[in-house]
Amino acid sequence: MKATIFALALAGAVSVASASSLTLYDTGVNSASLPLGPLGLDSHFTVPVWPIFNIVTPNAAVAFHGSPLWTANTATADWISAAQTSSGFLPGIDHAYGLYTYQEAFTVATAGAYNFTGDWAADNCGAIAVDGGSATMFSASGTTIGGGANATCSASLLNFENTTPFSFTVTLATGTNTLDFSVFNTGAPGDR
């Protein structure tokens, strides 16, 4: 049995409240926004928080076509999972119970308020933050699944059988910022 965690994020567009725009990518796609296919390395997301292995820092993310229980991949987004090396999975090493963070870095040319909207799912629970939680999100909705990314989360099937819409506004500084999807793996039902 292999316990694996997965996150589907930004299945919708990110809209911008200011005149400036951002370039963000859905999970599991290449730079042309086309699905990578199973185990394709997702160069847009890194996994800086890994509960047991730190083989590569930062760790890579890979597109994943997994359990039939999960909400289906879309034409513009695939589930992603943590990879254990820059070239993908190491054979025979399982994912661990615990917290994983999927992080997408993006550049802001004009400081101001930005509105983020989309859909996401997590196996098992999760929380969205900007800049590691240091940015204050306003009017946030749908930014937690199953009570958040912690050991007391609710590992309901609804967390990954359906997507959860999210919407929030955040004030961003000029320069590099991050969009963080923290996901807590409880082990089951991610076992397969």
* Tens-digit pLDDT string for the chain (192 aa): 222 334 454 433 344 455 467 888 888 889 998 888 887 888 898 888 666 554 445 677 888 776 788 888 888 888 888 765 545 554 434 456 778 888 999 999 888 888 888 888 888 888 999 999 998 999 899 999 888 888 888 877 778 888 888 989 899 999 999 999 988 888 654 332
Tokens of 172: 């961003």
Residue 18 has what pLDDT? 53
Residue 52 has what pLDDT? 57
- Closest by CA to 186, choosing from 92, 90, 122, is 122
Place of tokens 């991949």: 73
Residue 39 has what pLDDT? 79
Distance CA 162, CA 173 (A): 33
Residue 63 has what pLDDT? 83
Residue 89 has what pLDDT? 52
**Cβ of 78: how many Cβ atoms within 10 Å?**
26
Length of the chain: 192
Distance CA 171, CA 125 (A): 26
Residue 53 has what pLDDT? 52
- Closest by CA to 168, choosing from 130, 111, 131, 121, is 130
Domain ranges for the chain, please list them.
Answer: 6-14+25-185
